Every structure is written in structure tokens, then in C-alpha cells.
Structure 1
Amino acid sequence: MNLRQAMARLTMLHEGPGESYGIAAPIALIVADDARAASEAIAALEMTGCIARKPVSFAEASADLSNYDGLDLILIEAVAAPDALLDVVLARADMLARERSLGVVATVLPEQIDAAAAQLLGPRAQLLCNPGKADRISAISTAKWRARGVMDDVNREAESARLRRLSEEVARIAETLARLTRVDDAEPRGGVRDRGTGYRGPDAGPAVEIAPAEIRAVIRARRLRAQFFADELFADPAWDMLLDLFAAELERRQVSVSSLCIAAAVPPTTALRWIGTLHDAGLFERQADPSDRRRAYIGLSSKGLEGMRSYAGAVKRAGLHLV
């Protein structure tokens, strides 16, 4: 199977029954100042069955992006884009996505991640960084179906399912440990359950002091595995990011989106996708930087923080070690 056939098969994973009933192909606008990036975007659009309008420059798009009617998707290729124009285009694309139910896919450089995340972190927006062809195909396929109200992206569903399994496993372990350490079993105390994500906090127990150094030690131990085993064997970006944000919360320190991508120990595009997944699940929240509008921080939501505190406390009460 050649690359084109492989990409076609990946695209087919996202196709619904409507594809064979004459539904018009989605129309996409490409915003790019770099010819090569524009060409790659056009090629990816063609492989997903989308129609690409003539690419426009950032200067043209920043003048008035709302002039472009009949769109389903907006693709933003940020390489070579001036910072000031990039900010304007991202903000206007985000506004249009909300107003017109458009999909937005923005491909950025590593140094542009924070600026882009400050503008785009909604359910209809996807950020890519140094993406491969498969990443582009998958993101565009997801975006076009979201633009039409169909939330059936295979990759996203797989990650959401994995997130639910992770949450349920954490809840199960924490609940078991709390049960083992409970002195009085006569009156069971209710936990907190979020049926949307499968998260459930453990029963209450004695307060346990948790030092940020303990969490940082767990993170260092997890990173040491890469010296002895292939990285992909233990890729677990959701838990790595939860640990990093928990440590930062205990240290009263803010974490930028780009720093969190590094903490995830996976390629940037994968990390950005997981940040979106955890944000949608209500475990992460975006925090604006009042001193710099081009920077966005990510922190644990109250639900995420409660879950991490409860889990770490239950583990310590049981005399076990965090992992």
C-alpha cells in the first residue's frame, strides 16, 4: 500500500453515509504566507474530499475574514506569518468558528504554540505543530465533520475512551485504597461522580500532606524509563500532563501550553490534541495571562485538582508510592 492509498483509507474512517448521497463537498479557505505550506494544505484537503478556495495571505485575511462566505473550514498555516497579523487572523477565525459553526485547523511552529493557544482552544479548533501528512488528514477530516455537526472522529473517540478508562482506573484504585484505610466501615460516605467522564472521587479520609517534590520525583522516575525502553512503550500523555499540572498547582506556578506539551513527552501535535481532549472533559481549564494577551496558561480545573488530591491522598494513606 502506497502513501496515497494509506491516506485515503485514513480519510474513509471519517466518512459517514452522507458521502455517498450527493452531499456537497466542504469548502475550505487557506490562510498562508508560505507557498509550500499552502501546497501541503491543498494536498491534504484534496485527499479528504474538500474543495480548497484560492489561498489568501495573512494581510488579506486580517483585513476582513468575514467577507469569505460559504465556508466549512478555515486552515491557517502560521509559518512565515507576522506575529501581529497572526494574532488578528487567529482571533477572527475563532470568532467566525463560533458564529458560523466552522472548523478551524491551525498549523503553527513550536514558538507560536502559546500565541495560538491563547486564541484557539475551543471544541471546533485544532492546533498542529510540525504535523505529518497523516496528522493533517486526520485533523481536516475531524474539522469537516464537526463543521457539519457530526462528532464521529475515530482518533478523538479513541482518545476519549482511553481517557475514560484512565479516569475510571484512577477512581477504582483510589476507592479501593480509601476502603482499606477506612477505620469505620459502618457508615459509607458518598463520593463525587461525574457521569460524563467516568471520574469518581474516593471516600473522604484523613487529610494528607502532599509536597510538590513528591510529584516531581514521580515525573522524573517516569522520564528515566526512556533511558532503558523505547518511548512509545510507555506513552501516557494524559497522566503525564495531569501530574505536571498537579505539581505546578502545589508550587503555585503557572504552566504555559508549550511547557505542558513538553511535559507530555509526545510529539507536539499529539500533546495539543490531548490538551483539547482533557479540556473538553473538564479536567483542564485555560487561564489568560493578564500581562500578555499572546500567552495562555493551562491549569487543573476544580474537578481535576480534586481528583488528583484525592488519588494522591488515598495512595499515601495506604502506604504506597505514587506512579
Structure 2
Amino acid sequence: MAQADFAYALAADPAGIPLGVSIFADDARLRGDMEDDVAQAGFTLLHTGGLDELMAGHARSLGELVLVDCPQPDGKAMAALTRLDERVSRSGARLIVSTSMEYLDTVFGCCSQSKPQFLVNAIRAERVIALGRALADLPNMRLRELSEDDRLNLLRLTEQVGRIAERLDRMDKSGGGWGQRAGGGAFRFESPSEGWRAEPELIRKPRPPLPDARLVRQVLAHRRARAKFFDGDLFADPAWDMLLDLTAARVEHARVSVTSLCIASGVPPTTALRWIGQMVDAGLFVRVEDDADRRRAFIELSDKAADAMARFFAEVGKDALAMA
């Protein structure tokens, strides 16, 4: 699918200084696409090269945004990515990392400080959306002055654009299919509302126990069965599916990798990763480092999320959940 020709104003800080970008990718064609995308987005390209240049660790200005493509990182690349994550975190820049599903856990474990955007087997439209989100998140940028509602609306819009682009990309390759909707998916990208929190009088009561993990798994199985008969986008609810999966894991005393959680979400990995980031920021999920291997990380329910899930299951009841 041809890339749309958008014209953007020069991306600059409030003082008018152009925002710089560095790109590291071994695939020359992909690197060329990334260069075109950052140019169209109004950024100034400071440096572009292969992963070997990132691993060399030469002192240079990386700019306000760094794009890295590492589909199959080896030990040296992982070490370089860890150093880059720390450097980006200290500088206040933004990091976008694309990888493969096979190496997602490895790459996720290397990036614990900078809160990067992760892209998995990304199409070009997803990279363009990631650039827009990075621009919105940069400190002291005009988009930071938007209200929270405006920012959420912007994120919803970019998500819808991504879904449309993904669908068009599939149609372009396969010729389309019966039952495929022409518009964006039903998935909405938004922060969990304040309403999920327990009422003050409930907080003082003892928390009910979490339900049997087998019941939670049954609910998840029923939800996934719908995709056999209906377009899965109709019921896309990644936040809830991930909450259910982590609830069952907490009862089972099992650890959940980011790859496993992406699969449980029922949406594309890149979308799931955006949700995971939102849920961590909202205090519902917690990133837990692996004590045995600092390059690995797991996702768990926070205590307040576990409390809310326990109260939900207690209020709704086992019989009603079994029919969900």
C-alpha cells in the first residue's frame, strides 16, 4: 500500500529549534522508509545507520526521538539497547523500538526506564502513528497543552486510523473478504476511567477472595469462542481480557510474560503493548523484573487492581460469569 503524501510543518520546540531524530536499522529498505516518514512528519534527521553503529556507542547527539529496529537482537544488541534505554530516559527523549513477536520479551526486558513505544511486526502506518504519538508526548510541545479529554480523543483517532490502515493493507494483499467491515475496529484506546475504583466505604470492608482460576479461564474461553462466529473486532476489549488473564495468573501464582499477555488481549501485539503501557501508567498493572535474569520482565496485577477484580467477581457471581 502506497504511503499517503502528508505535508507537515517543521517539528520544532517552543524556541523554534528543529526536533532531531536518529534511526538505527539493518534493513536498508526499512531504514529508507523510516527516513521518509520522519521527514514527512517534520523532524530533522540527525543520524541514520545500522545496529552496529548503535552498538559501537560513539558519543553523538541522538536528538529528541530515536527509532530502532531489532527483529532478532543478539547479546551485543541487547546490551546496546539497554544502554540506549537508560540514555534516552535521562535525556527526556522518546524511543520507538520495533521487533518481532519471537523477541518481544527480550526487547521489552531491555527497556525498563524510557517507557518506549514497542511495535511488533509493524506495518508502515503503525510507525507513522508512533511518530505522531511521540511528538504529542515530547516535553514542552504544544500538544502537551491539550486537555486530557483532547489528548484521549487524539489517541482514539490515531488508533482508528491504524485499524483502517491495517484493514486496507490486508485487503490490498488478499482482495478483501466477506464479513470484513470497511471502517475502523470497535477498539477504543483510552485510559481506564476513575469509575473503576472501589467506593470509600467498600475499601474498609475485607476484600473477598479472588475466584477460582478455572472459572476465570472459562470466561476467557467463552469470550474467545465468539470470534469463530463474528468479526473479532466487534468484541475487542483488550483491557478486560488482560485483566482476566492476570487475575487467573495471580490465583495460580504464575508469572505472565509480555508476549503471553499480548496473546491474551486478543488484539494485534502493537495495540496490546499500547494498552499495557496505559494500564501500567494507570496503576492497574505492574512491571516486575526477573530476579534471575534482569533482561526479562513480567506483568502482574497491582494490589488495587486485584482488589477491584475480587470485588467485581463477588458482586457479579459465579453463575453469571460462567455465561459471559
TM-score range, shorter chain: 0.7 to 0.9
Which amino acid in structure 2 is aligned with residue 42 of structure 1?
A: E
Deviation at 1:122? 4.8
- State the partner residue of 2:61: 69
Change (3 A) 1:121 1:142: farther
Deviation at 1:70? 5.8
Deviation at 1:3? 4.3
> Pick from 39, 44, 64: which aligns with 2:32?
39
- What is the CA RMSD across the aligned residues, in angstroms? 3.0
- State the partner residue of 2:279: 278
* Percent of aligned pairs with the same amino acid: 32
- State the partner residue of 2:99: 108
After superposition, residues 248-259 of structure 1 pair within 5 angstroms as 248-259=249-260
Instruction: Assess if the C-alpha contact under 8 Å between 1:74 and 1:93 holds in 2.
Output: no
Q: For 1:283 and 1:162, how far apart are their aligned partners in 2?
A: 14
Change (3 A) 1:240 1:121: farther
Q: For 1:36 and 1:109, how far apart are their aligned partners in 2?
A: 17
- SS in structure 2 at match of 1:190: helix
Q: TM-score, normalised by structure 2?
A: 0.78
Q: For 1:309 and 1:208, how far apart are their aligned partners in 2?
A: 6
Instruction: Assess if the C-alpha contact under 8 Å between 2:98 and 2:118 holds in 1.
Output: yes
1:98 aligns with 2:99: no
Which amino acid in structure 1 is aligned with residue 101 of structure 2?
A: P
Q: For 2:247 and 2:312, how far apart are their aligned partners in 1?
A: 11
- State the partner residue of 1:198: none
Q: For 1:114 and 1:130, how far apart are their aligned partners in 2?
A: 14
- State the partner residue of 2:182: none
- SS in structure 2 at match of 1:162: coil
Deviation at 1:137? 1.1
Q: For 2:207 and 2:129, how far apart are their aligned partners in 1?
A: 47
1:163 aligns with 2:191: yes
1:142 aligns with 2:143: no
Instruction: Assess if the C-alpha contact under 8 Å between 1:123 and 1:280 holds in 2.
Output: no
Q: For 2:157 and 2:281, how far apart are their aligned partners in 1?
A: 12
Q: For 2:303 and 2:269, how far apart are their aligned partners in 1?
A: 26
Change (3 A) 1:244 1:215: same
- State the partner residue of 1:185: none
Q: TM-score, normalised by structure 1?
A: 0.78
- List alignment gaps of at least 5 residues for structure 1: 176-188, 193-202
Deviation at 1:134? 2.2
Which amino acid in structure 1 is aligned with residue 61 of structure 2?
A: D
Instruction: Assess if the C-alpha contact under 8 Å between 1:287 and 1:296 holds in 2.
Output: yes
Q: For 2:54 and 2:137, how far apart are their aligned partners in 1?
A: 23
Q: For 1:126 and 1:206, how far apart are their aligned partners in 2?
A: 35
- SS in structure 1 at match of 2:295: coil
Q: For 2:283 and 2:210, how far apart are their aligned partners in 1?
A: 25
Larger RCO of the pair (alpha carbons < 8 Å, separation 6+): 1
- List alignment gaps of at least 5 residues for structure 2: 160-187
Deviation at 1:22? 7.7
- State the partner residue of 1:243: 244
